Each structure stands twice: as C-alpha cells, then as structure tokens.
Amino acid sequence: MAKVYKLKAIERKEGEKSNHVKKEGFIPAVIYGPGLDRGNIHLKISSVDTLLMLDKIEETTPIQLNIEKENGETYTITTFLKTVQRHKVSDKPIHADFYVPAEGHKMHLNIPIEFVGEAKGLSKGGMLDIHHHELPVEILPKDIVEKFVVDITDLDVDDHITVKDLNISEEIDVLLDPEEVIVAIPVAGRVSETVETSEEEIEEETGEEA
C-alpha cells in the first residue's frame, strides 16, 4: 500500500477570487471526481505546503486533505493529485486539481519500476537494457503501491524479464502484453553490430534510390 501524504487546506469562501487567494500566499485548488458525494469543492492551499508536497509525492500517492470549513470545523477527504498548473515564467504552481475516484472502481495509473541488484550477466559482457521504467495499470485505490520492485540479480547474458514474470497481485491489471519484455541483458557487442548493420542497410537503400 502506498504511503498517504497529509496536507492541510481551507475551503474558499463563495465568490473568493483566485487573485485574492494568491496574494494571501495560497494557491487555488479544486477537488472533483465521481467519489464525491457533493459538487466540486474549491480550496486554497499554502504555496509553501504545495511546493513541499510536489517534492514528495508521485502520481500514485494518496493525499489526505484535512480541510477547514469557514466555521472552523474540519473534515478529511482522500484524493489523488491530478494536475498542477504552473506559471509560464516562474514555473511556480498556481493551481492544483485533486481527484476522488469512485469507490470500487479502478484507476488508470503508471506505477514506477525499481530495479534492484546487479545482473550477473553484466560481468560477462552483457549490458542492461531497460524497456519499461513504469507499468501502466488499472488498480483499485486500496491496492495502489508506490512502486514495483524487480530483482535483476539472477539475469545472465541473453536473459530477460517479461510482464508475466513479475510478482504482481491478481487484483492489479497490467495494461501490457504478458510477453512484453521489461528488462533484458543482451551482449553489448551484438547490440552495436545490430545498430551498425541497420545503418549500413539504410545507406545501401538510400544509394539504390539515388
């Protein structure tokens, strides 16, 4: 399960303009999505807290918003950061959108892959050839993980790992072919030869056309 990031927010007063929010040191934000039992919720979040959040979260990080109402009461909503708008010149965040998925419905996410260990084939003339640094998946919010860890220690020359080789929960739908290669250890020289051959073929074809 992915770690939950906690963030404070304040409900914006009705009619409160974005420019006024920014002058107070906040950025405007909105919560939306099928998981809300009401309409969109308009918020303001500290600019400093927003920058700290962006340094620490990923697309897969659940964000628990602790929201203060105008009367001082608070409530929490678990969301995911969907988009952040940035200033064209300063690149500072100027607006954030938070999404609440419908309960029991899967989300489409790209979950990072972390490769651990040193493939034994690297000491035999092989090279590390990573085909995918993340996996596109459909997943329930409760099943979200921060990353998939793939141990490549036992990979020898000409070995590879495919999607079907990964140890992934059956509850998670990977949106790639099971035979899709995730990482491989080809012979370095063989890869170079393939590239050189392709370049020669292109030159020959170009010469024939001329």
Using an 8 Å Cβ cutoff, are 155 and 121 in contact? yes
Question: Confidence class of residue 202 from pLDDT cuts 50, 70 and 90?
Answer: low
Output the pLDDT for position 66.
96
Range of the structural domain that residue 178 is part of: 107-185
Does 199 score more than 70 pLDDT? Answer: no
DSSP letter assigned to residue 168: -
Helix (H, G, I), strand (E, B) or coil at 62: coil
Residue of 86, 69, 89 lying closest to 77 (CA atoms):
69
Mean pLDDT of 194-201: 49
| Among 99, 127, 154, residue at a domain's last position | 99
| Same-domain check for residues 87 and 116 | no
What is the total count of domains within the chain? Answer: 2
* 13 & 52 share domain: yes
Q: Tens of pLDDT along 121-153?
A: 999 999 999 999 999 999 998 899 989 999 999
Domain shared by 91 and 125, yes or no: no
Does residue 57 sit in the same domain as residue 131?
no
Query: According to the model, what pLDDT value does residue 127 have?
Result: 95
pTM of the model: 0.73
Q: What is the mean pLDDT of the chain?
A: 88
124-160 core/surface letters (b: 16 or more CB in 10 A; e: else)? eebbbeeeeeebebebebeebbeebebebeebebebe
* 181-184: strand order across its sheet: 129-130, 181-184, 160-162
Distances from the Cα of 132 to the Cα of 68, 115, 143, angstroms: 41, 11, 21
CA pseudo-torsion sign 48, 49, 55, 60:
negative
Question: Does 94 share its domain with 111?
Answer: no
The pLDDT value given to residue 178: 96
pLDDT score, position 3: 83
Residues 6+ apart with CB under 8 A from 14: none
Q: Which comes out higher in pLDDT, residue 124 or 209?
A: 124
Q: Do 10 and 68 sit in the same domain of this protein?
A: yes
User: Domain with 61 in it: what CATH number?
Assistant: 2.40.240.10
Same-domain check for residues 91 and 21: yes
Q: Is the pLDDT of residue 2 over 80?
A: no
**Domain containing residue 135: CATH number:** 2.170.120.20
On whether both 91 and 112 belong to a single domain, the answer is no
Residue 134 lies in a domain: yes
Among the candidates 77, 99, 121, a domain finishes at 99
Residues 181, 141 share a domain: yes
Average pLDDT over residues 184-209: 60
Would residue 128 count as lying in a domain?
yes
Is the pLDDT at 23 greater than 80? The verdict is: yes
Shared domain check, 95 and 11 = yes
Q: How confident is the model at residue 100 (pLDDT cuts 50, 70, 90)?
A: very high
